[in-house]
């Protein structure tokens, strides 16, 4: 076998390894449905629509992208008692949330595209007064991956032929499961994180075997651990520190902090900037803001953008991506009832 052919084999294997990276996102708030199904419906709002698009550049010509969409709805069993003008809400110790989840990957040359569809069922139990939360969730998932059949001829052009072994078309059902513990419910900053402390664990693809090496293009079981802390600096400034550890045969982690400035204006009330570090040797910078309509009962749109910057020479990042960007959008209903103060009494009891 000629030297040129061995060079092509190494190059083809390198691209296959890069395309079989597991999914992981930097914008935690918009990727909550992927991170842990037990986060479904844990915010103040009754329903929420979120979307995220991610694009990664593996080298000068090869890239792949992920699209993540989720719709959530929570069923509350609380009762409101009205008597002689007095309104008293009795918080039920439980609630139930449903969430539809879709994750789709597309890639150049169709070496590792797939589509995951899931429906999460999340049971939430609250402590007295709703101060703490325990959420348990299971999400049946339908997984679909296109077949890849290598050609019989061998060419030195990696864009047309491949000598890698193929795999058949895959269609099967699996499941994700998760648990979340929320401690000390927030009042003023609940839109950024509902509880001061948030701890969780999830398992993706429970019924599958765990991958033992990255080049395995077939999906495998993944373990994820995440934690977040909301720190109120003053009435106008706050920050959220979050971290995530993922094990899928290999280990990956990322952690960072988001700084939030809040000031209630006619069409906007939040601006965010963030910075995070990934174990893939990337620095992630992000920024975003929230806008809403002019009426009292209206919809809000939370937009955020992030970009991965390599901390090593691009040629030494293999098998990870060189650069990546994400853009996200969260839409949900709000009821504007705050006063002039950033955390007035009216705002603390804001309803959704």
| pLDDT: which is higher, 144 or 162 | 144
Going by C-beta distance under 8 Å and a sequence separation of 6 or more, which residues neighbour residue 221?
Answer: 203, 204, 205, 206, 208, 209, 210, 211, 248
- pTM metric for this prediction: 0.82
Sorted by where each starts, the structural domains of the chain and their CATH numbers stand as 3-348 (2.40.160.40)
Nearest to 308 by CA among 295, 317, 316: 317
What share of the chain in percent tops pLDDT 90?
40
Q: How far apart are CA 21 and CA 64, in angstroms?
A: 10
Per-residue pLDDT tens over the stretch 95-119: 999 999 999 988 765 456 788 999 9
Instruction: Give dist(CA 36, CA 41) in Å, integer.
Output: 11
Q: What pLDDT, in 10s, does the model give residues 21-57?
A: 567 888 888 889 889 999 999 988 899 999 999 988 8
């Amino acid at each position: 076998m000629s030297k040129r052919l061995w060079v092509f084999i190494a190059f083809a294997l390198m691209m296959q390894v890069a395309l079989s990276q597991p999914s992981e996102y930097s914008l935690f708030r918009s990727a909550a449905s992927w991170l842990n199904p037990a986060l479904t419906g844990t915010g103040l709002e009754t329903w929420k629509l979120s979307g995220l698009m991610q694009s990664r550049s593996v080298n000068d010509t090869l890239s792949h992208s992920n699209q993540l969409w989720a719709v959530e709805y929570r069923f509350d069993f609380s009762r409101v008692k009205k008597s002689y003008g007095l309104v008293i809400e009795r918080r039920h110790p439980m609630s139930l949330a449903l969430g539809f989840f879709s994750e789709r990957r597309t890639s150049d040359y169709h070496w590792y595209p797939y589509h995951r569809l899931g429906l999460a069922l999340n049971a939430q139990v609250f402590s007295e007064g709703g101060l703490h939360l325990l959420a348990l969730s299971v999400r049946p998932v339908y997984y679909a991956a296109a077949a890849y059949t290598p050609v019989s001829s061998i060419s030195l052009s990696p864009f047309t032929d491949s000598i890698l072994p193929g795999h058949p078309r895959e269609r099967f059902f699996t499941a994700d499961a998760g648990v979340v513990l929320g401690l000390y419910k927030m009042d003023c900053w609940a839109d950024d994180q509902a509880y001061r402390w948030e701890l969780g664990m999830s398992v993706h693809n429970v019924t599958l075997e765990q991958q033992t090496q990255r080049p395995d293009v077939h999906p495998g079981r993944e373990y994820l651990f995440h934690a977040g802390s909301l720190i109120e600096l003053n009435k106008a400034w706050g920050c959220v520190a979050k971290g995530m550890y993922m094990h899928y045969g290999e280990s990956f982690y990322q952690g960072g902090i988001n700084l939030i400035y809040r000031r209630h204006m006619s069409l906007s009330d939040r601006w965010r900037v963030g910075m995070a570090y990934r174990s893939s040797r990337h620095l992630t910078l992000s920024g975003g803001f929230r806008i809403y309509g002019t009426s009292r009962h209206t919809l809000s749109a939370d937009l955020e953008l992030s970009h991965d910057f390599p901390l090593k020479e691009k040629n030494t990042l293999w098998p990870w991506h060189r650069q990546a960007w994400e853009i996200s959008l969260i839409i949900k209903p709000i009821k504007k009832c705050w006063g002039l103060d950033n955390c007035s009494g009216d705002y603390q009891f804001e309803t959704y």
